Amino acid sequence: MPKLGIKGEKGIVFRKAWEVIKADFNAVFERDPAARSKLEVLLCYPGFHAILSHRLCHWLWNKGLRLPARFLSHITRFFTGIEIHPGATIGKGFFIDHGMGVVIGETAEIGDNVTLYHQVTLGGVSLKREKRHPTLRERVVVGAGAKILGPLVIGENSKVGANSVVVKDVPPNSTVVGVPGRTVKKRAIKVHGVDLDHHLLPDPVLSVIKAISEEVSELRKELEEIKKNGGKKRLDGIEHRLSRLEKLKRLEEMDSFIDEG
């Protein structure tokens, strides 16, 4: 294989960088129906401005120019309202919608075609200089106001509901909601492309309430049968089920019920 000269190597690096920037630019049109023209995106999309600046900041950071990288990211934060640490690793096709209040920490790792909405935090939970921020795999969608804390992993094709607080790993093809975040839905079929229906979220609390309501209805039916028969032959069964109902009211049992569902 012939050796590449300095110009050839620079050309390859430039082409790779250009492909990444094009993917970021095209992601705006793929995921925001409000985008009407290329000029509009170039002038009016802070999310695109932030990721474009971050590409340069990250290059400076990896070259050992830490202070210029931090200073440029600080200026970008002032103009866009989006704070991305230059050390964060971000894949191509990255899209931040609206963007105000987004914070991405130093050791965060983000895969290709990830989407974040405003006020999302990818935060750290350690004072040590180690991996302390989240890893988001490919095609993850994080709803507005969600907080993902610590060196956990969000599996590919997963969705994090708005205002959720995620503090543990999330399997691929899953939906997470709540504080703390709970995995309430898993999809066996792999999603192709980016699933932006992050408003279609199950309600785990409502599911538990429905289960308890159904249990109460069954107990009422059995009590009516006992009254009609004039005996207590099924009283033991009802006492057992009443005991189970009391357990469901406890928060620990509710969490287990949700996780099993």
What is the structure's pLDDT at 257?
47
Q: Which of 75, 77, 121, 113 is nearest to 93 (CA)?
A: 113
95-96, strands of its sheet edge to edge: 95-96, 115-116, 141-142, 159-160, 174-177, 182-186
Are 140 and 159 in contact by the 8 Å Cβ rule? The answer is yes
CB neighbourhood size of 28 (10 A) = 21
- Distance, CA of 73 to CA of 52 (rounded, Å): 11
What is the structure's pLDDT at 182?
87
Q: Report the chain's mean pLDDT, rounded to a whole number.
A: 82
Question: 83-84 and 141-142: which strand pairing?
Answer: unpaired
What is the structure's pLDDT at 27?
94
By three-state DSSP, how is residue 234 classified? coil
Task: Compute the chain's Rg from CA coordinates.
Answer: 25
- Distance, CA of 86 to CA of 66 (rounded, Å): 8
Burial 102-116 (b: 16+ CB within 10 A, else e): bbbbbbbbbbbbbbb
| pLDDT per residue as tens digits for the range 22-67 | 999 999 999 999 999 999 999 999 999 999 999 999 999 999 999 9
Are 202 and 177 in contact by the 8 Å Cβ rule? The answer is yes
- Whether pTM > 0.75 for this model: the answer is no
Q: How many CA atoms lie within 13 A of 201 on its CB side?
A: 24
The tens-digit pLDDT sequence of the chain (261 residues) is 455 555 666 777 788 888 999 999 999 999 999 999 999 999 999 999 999 999 999 999 999 999 999 999 999 999 999 999 999 999 999 999 988 999 999 999 999 999 999 999 999 988 888 999 999 999 999 999 999 999 999 999 999 999 999 999 999 999 999 888 888 876 654 544 555 555 555 666 666 677 677 777 777 777 777 766 655 555 556 666 666 666 666 555 555 544 555
